[in-house]
Amino acid sequence: MQAFDFSDSEYDIREDLPEAYRETWRRIAAPGSWWTGAERVAIAQETRNAVSCKFCQERKKTLSPYGMSGSHDCASLLPERAIDAVHRIITDQGRITQAYIDDNAAHNMSEEQYVELLGICVVVFSVDEFHRGLGLALEPLPKPKPGEPTGYRPAHTTRETGFVSMIPAAGATGEESDLWDPKRTANVLRALSLVPDAVRDWFVVHEAQYIALEDMMVNYGAIGNRPINRMQTELVASRVSAVNECFY
């Protein structure tokens, strides 16, 4: 059976969604900039493990998430800090701090590795939540592809807004010219830009589940094949953000 085959679903699911999900799985399986294909699939698995991790559930109840010791429910050979980062991103992202990210960087998980890991968490969790929301079984994760990470880092980055380095707003040029229009961008587009392919991976899911990048800042009416208009889309997005305590 083809991956993401929704033909038996009771819902009428747009064709571009399974296409986007298949492309996302293909991208996860391939070596990235800082993690191998096997490590990227392991990060995807930890994204799922975190949802039901008992240690994460207990830690989320504590006053400080940095004073509790214990072991995560995990099933991979990833470094301990990588496992912890995935679980925090999925279960307690609102309490991640600059000091935490800097401490990871000082202990062999670089800022670049963290950003790529974060990008994988975002796209896998987004695809899985689509399935959970419709009562569909989660898709098996892809088999990793061989190869080594590229080690690619953009030539020009800055750290002036968030906890990690990003390409400057006007710096999406050259190899990064496809990421956004230097004359019109937003921090949400720049957030993963220390690892440009993480932005590209995110675009695949973003454009299928939300709207295309070229429509995001200029089109406030009907959008392509969507059954609801932009204002209705933003109402849903705002409500989901409020429920998830996303105050951006």
Measured CA to CA, the distance from residue 42 to residue 93 in angstroms comes to 20
- Cα dist from 103 to 66, 95, 145, 207, 230, whole Å: 12, 15, 31, 34, 41
Q: Domain residues of the chain, as ranges? A: 16-209
Q: Quote the pTM value.
A: 0.94
CA distance 30 to 168: 27
Distance in angstroms (rounded) separating the CA atoms of residues 83 and 64 = 19
Cα-based torsion angle of the residue sequence 171, 109, 127, 219 in order, rounded to the nearest 10 degrees: -20
Give mean pLDDT in consecutive 10-residue pieces for the chain, a chain of 248 residues: 87 94 98 98 97 95 90 88 97 94 96 98 97 96 98 94 93 94 85 97 94 74 78 89 79
Q: Nearest to residue 35, comparing CAs of 151, 139, 131?
A: 151
Task: Please tell me the predicted confidence (pLDDT) of residue 57.
Answer: 95
Q: Which residues pair with 181 in a beta bridge?
A: 184
